[in-house]
């Protein structure tokens, strides 16, 4: 995410830190560079102008120049202003506090990720103990209805039965009645999109809005399209008065223009972000964390949240019990690896750790951690249960069989067992700390 932007910011800051004492001219120069970095990232030029002016006003003051760590102060100001640009301090929570069924309308251009995001949102809300009904109201693209039905089947979430050619406003109204009768508390409306904005489409969306009065009208924006997404968001907002934005495809190599301009231009908050094609790749948007990521400072809070969610799902108590009963074996080790995998790819996790992004780039040529993880799993899966529980059984011929079975080499198997025995030794030491120490570790 925003790798290019991050690299350039890091270069500007490195130079700034290189000056022992900062002069006003040093800061002006850094600001000129920041301005270029933002423009190259496709941030709206007016937004850039205001941003630089805000940073300048705070950074040129005597306090910063006289402070013991002037460069640090300037970087802090940039971070705070970036976060503010993306809406830090403003409400950006979904607001579903209304009498059920609460309609939530998603709109946007074709290909932005609307249908996928409807599915993701349904899953996201179900995890918050809501009971959503998916409503396909894009009647022009028959594949869109099918696509939503497929997503619904995959998630086990009901999709209202609409047919191509029906009036979309009627579909939404009928879905609302159906939801009220069948105990659904949220309606997720997947509306039609076009390749470009057109009046007919807007007219239809306005009619749906006027009839259903959705609590949330969310504009789905493709972050990869940069300023185009911002322009389109602006016109949707003018016609529909949207309540917020969902920014998709932030996992790709988007330059940052959409993320950094969309709130300032539309005045509407980014509420959620899409970070992948999988159904669970939808997250709340945190402006300050995003600013830290952009500046290469990592995002430890998100990492901790992910760890907590993964371990809770796995049931920490169960894992503890297994460890207590069986000790730390290759089998418990594999189960733990699976928990880690639930948190997302190792590469994406590493990027949340401050400085790790840079370290990863230096590892070029080494095996990618995710590949490594798959290999380890394949090796352990090729063992028998007895072998997994007692690695001392693993003699030469067994190791050869396992290497063949897992499509790896005997060296790979040897290396894994070596690493495992080292980890086991460490676990033994930890266990000596008693149940408290162990618990602390498991909850990480
Ligand atoms: P719609 O025309 O707006 O309904 O768009 P779709 O939901 O059909 O999505 C278009 C494409 O974007 C599909 O291939 C999706 O898998 C992909 N997509 C949607 N959201 C994301 C995301 O957050 N990350 C990535 N990488 N792809 C996404």
- Tens-place pLDDT, residues 150-159: 999 999 999 9
For residue 422, the model assigns a pLDDT of 81
225 annotated among ligand-binding-site residues: no
Task: For residue 169, give both structure tokens.
Answer: 């406003």
List, as one string, the DSSP characters of 55-115. HHHHHSSHHHHHSS-HHHHHHHHHHHHHHHHTTTTS--S----SSSSEEEEEE--TTSSHH
> Which of 241, 271, 294 finishes a domain?
294
> For residues 165 and 80, is the Cβ–Cβ distance under 8 A?
no
Q: Are residues 288 and 318 in the same domain?
A: no
Q: Is the pLDDT of residue 50 over 80?
A: yes
- Shortest-distance atom of ligand 1 to CA 273: 23
> For residues 391 and 420, is the Cβ–Cβ distance under 8 A?
yes
For residue 403, the model assigns a pLDDT of 94
Q: What is the rounded distance in angstroms from the CA atom of residue 437 to the CA atom of residue 181?
A: 52
Classify 215 as helix, strand or coil. coil
Q: What percentage of residues in the chain have a pLDDT greater than 70?
A: 86
pTM of the full predicted structure? 0.75
| Separation of CA 146 and ligand 1 centre (Å) | 15
Q: What is the rounded distance in angstroms from the CA atom of residue 413 to the CA atom of residue 411?
A: 5
Q: Are residues 288 and 313 in the same domain?
A: no
Nearest CA to ligand 1 atom 28: 277
- 316-326 vs 435-443: helix crossing angle, rounded to 10: 130
What is the extent of the structural domain holding 306?
300-443
Spatial CB neighbours of 128, under 8 Å, sequence gap ≥ 6? none
CATH of the domain at 358: 1.10.260.30
Q: Are residues 278 and 343 in the same domain?
A: no
412 annotated among ligand-binding-site residues: no
93 annotated among ligand-binding-site residues: no
Where is pLDDT greater, at 371 or 193?
193
Name which of 164, 130, 17 is nearest 78 in CA terms: 17
Measured distance between the N- and C-terminal CA atoms of the chain, rounded to whole angstroms:
26
| Separation of CA 277 and ligand 1 centre (Å) | 6
Residue 185 included in any domain: yes
Residue 403 included in any domain: yes
Residue 233 included in any domain: yes
> For residues 12 and 37, is the Cβ–Cβ distance under 8 A?
yes
CATH of the domain at 51: 1.20.120.140
Classify 2 as helix, strand or coil. coil
Q: Are residues 315 and 252 in the same domain?
A: no
> Which of 294, 321, 348 finishes a domain?
294
> For residues 99 and 132, is the Cβ–Cβ distance under 8 A?
no
Residue 96 included in any domain: no
The confidence band for 367, taking pLDDT boundaries of 50, 70 and 90, is: low
* Cα–Cα distance list, 83 to 47, 74, 242, 259, 409 (Å): 13, 14, 22, 11, 49
Other C-beta atoms closer than 10 Å to the C-beta of 296 total 20
- Tens-place pLDDT, residues 186-223: 999 999 887 777 888 999 999 999 999 999 999 999 99
Query: How many structural domains compose the chain?
Result: 3
The DSSP letter of residue 368 is P
Q: Are residues 384 and 237 in the same domain?
A: no
CB of 136 closer than 6 angstroms to any ligand 1 atom: no
Nearest CA to ligand 1 atom 6: 113
Interval 431-438 mean pLDDT: 56
If residue 134 lies in a helix (H) or strand (E), which one and from where to where?
Answer: strand 132-137
- Tens-place pLDDT, residues 157-196: 999 998 778 899 999 999 999 999 999 999 999 998 877 7
* Cα–Cα distance list, 209 to 215, 241, 263, 330, 406 (Å): 10, 10, 22, 56, 55
Q: Is the pLDDT of residue 304 over 90?
A: no
Q: Are residues 354 and 417 in the same domain?
A: yes
Residue 93 included in any domain: no
Q: Are residues 269 and 317 in the same domain?
A: no
- Shortest-distance atom of ligand 1 to CA 144: 4
Q: Is the pLDDT of residue 435 over 60?
A: no
Strand 216-222 with 102-107, pairing = parallel
List, as one string, the DSSP characters of 225-253. GTHHHHHHHHHHHHHH--SEEEEE-TTS-
CB of 248 closer than 6 angstroms to any ligand 1 atom: yes
Residue 97 included in any domain: no
Determine if the peptide bond prior to 236 is cis (ω within 30°).
Answer: no
Q: Are residues 278 and 352 in the same domain?
A: no
Residue 91 included in any domain: no
109 annotated among ligand-binding-site residues: yes
Q: Are residues 281 and 327 in the same domain?
A: no
341 annotated among ligand-binding-site residues: no
Q: What is the rounded distance in angstroms from the CA atom of residue 77 to the CA atom of residue 69?
A: 13
Name which of 268, 273, 259, 264 is nearest 229 in CA terms: 259
Q: Is the pLDDT of residue 142 over 90?
A: no
Q: Are residues 348 and 433 in the same domain?
A: yes
Q: Are residues 168 and 61 in the same domain?
A: no
Q: What is the rounded distance in angstroms from the CA atom of residue 156 to the CA atom of residue 137?
A: 19
Mutate to test the pocket of ligand 1, among 115, 151, 277 (most ligand atoms within 8 A of CB): 277
* Cα–Cα distance list, 306 to 261, 292, 352 (Å): 28, 17, 11
Q: Are residues 389 and 418 in the same domain?
A: yes
- Tens-place pLDDT, residues 387-427: 998 889 999 999 999 999 999 999 999 988 988 888 778 77
| Separation of CA 115 and ligand 1 centre (Å) | 7
Name which of 206, 166, 213, 214 is nearest 188 in CA terms: 214
- Shortest-distance atom of ligand 1 to CA 220: 3
Mutate to test the pocket of ligand 1, among 108, 111, 116 (most ligand atoms within 8 A of CB): 116
> Which of 32, 53, 85 finishes a domain?
85
For residue 369, the model assigns a pLDDT of 66
CATH of the domain at 122: 3.40.50.300
Residue 95 included in any domain: no
The confidence band for 438, taking pLDDT boundaries of 50, 70 and 90, is: very low
If residue 288 lies in a helix (H) or strand (E), which one and from where to where?
Answer: helix 287-294
CB of 114 closer than 6 angstroms to any ligand 1 atom: yes
Strand 216-222 with 244-248, pairing = parallel
């Amino acid at each position: 995410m925003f790798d290019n932007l991050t690299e350039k910011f890091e270069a500007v800051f490195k130079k700034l830190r290189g000056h022992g004492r900062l002069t006003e001219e040093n800061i002006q120069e850094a600001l000129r560079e920041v301005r270029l970095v933002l423009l190259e990232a496709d941030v709206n030029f007016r937004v850039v102008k205001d941003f630089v002016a805000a940073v300048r006003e705070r950074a040129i003051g005597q306090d910063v120049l006289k402070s013991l760590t002037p460069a640090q102060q300037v970087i802090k100001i940039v971070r705070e202003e970036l976060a503010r640009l993306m809406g830090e301090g403003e409400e950006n929570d979904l607001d579903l506090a209304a009498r059920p069924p609460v309609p939530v309308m998603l709109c946007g251009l074709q290909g932005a990720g609307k249908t996928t995001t409807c599915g993701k949102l349904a899953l996201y809300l179900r995890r918050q103990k809501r009971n959503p009904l998916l409503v396909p109201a894009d009647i022009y693209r028959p594949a869109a209805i099918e696509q939503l039905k497929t997503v619904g089947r995959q998630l086990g979430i009901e999709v209202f039965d609409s047919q191509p050619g029906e009036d979309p406003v009627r579909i939404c109204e009928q879905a609302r009645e159906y939801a009220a009768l069948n105990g659904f508390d949220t309606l997720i409306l997947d509306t039609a999109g076009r390749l470009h904005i057109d009046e007919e489409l807007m007219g239809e969306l306005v009619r749906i809005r006027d009839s259903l009065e959705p609590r949330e009208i969310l504009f789905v924006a493709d972050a990869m399209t940069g300023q185009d997404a911002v322009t389109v968001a602006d016109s949707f907002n003018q016609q529909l008065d949207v309540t917020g934005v969902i920014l998709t495809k932030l996992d790709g190599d988007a330059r940052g223009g959409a993320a950094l301009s969309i709130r300032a231009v539309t005045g509407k908050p980014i509420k959620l972000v899409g970070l992948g094609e999988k159904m669970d790749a939808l997250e709340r948007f945190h402006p300050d964390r995003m600013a830290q990521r952009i500046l290469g400072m990592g995002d430890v809070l998100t990492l901790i949240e992910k760890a907590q969610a993964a371990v809770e799902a796995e049931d920490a108590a169960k894992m503890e019990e297994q460890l207590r009963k069986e000790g730390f074996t290759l089998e418990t080790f594999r189960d733990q690896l699976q928990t880690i995998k639930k948190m997302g790819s190792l590469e994406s996790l590493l990027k949340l750790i401050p400085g790790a992004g840079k370290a990863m780039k230096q590892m070029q040529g080494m095996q990618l951690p995710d590949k490594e993880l798959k290999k380890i799993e394949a090796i352990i899966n090729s063992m028998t249960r007895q072998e997994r529980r007692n690695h001392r059984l693993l003699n030469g011929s067994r190791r050869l069989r396992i290497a063949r079975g897992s499509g790896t080499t005997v060296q790979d198997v040897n290396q894994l067992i070596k690493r495992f025995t080292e980890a086991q030794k460490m676990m033994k030491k930890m266990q000596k700390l008693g149940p408290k120490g162990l618990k602390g570790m498991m909850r990480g």
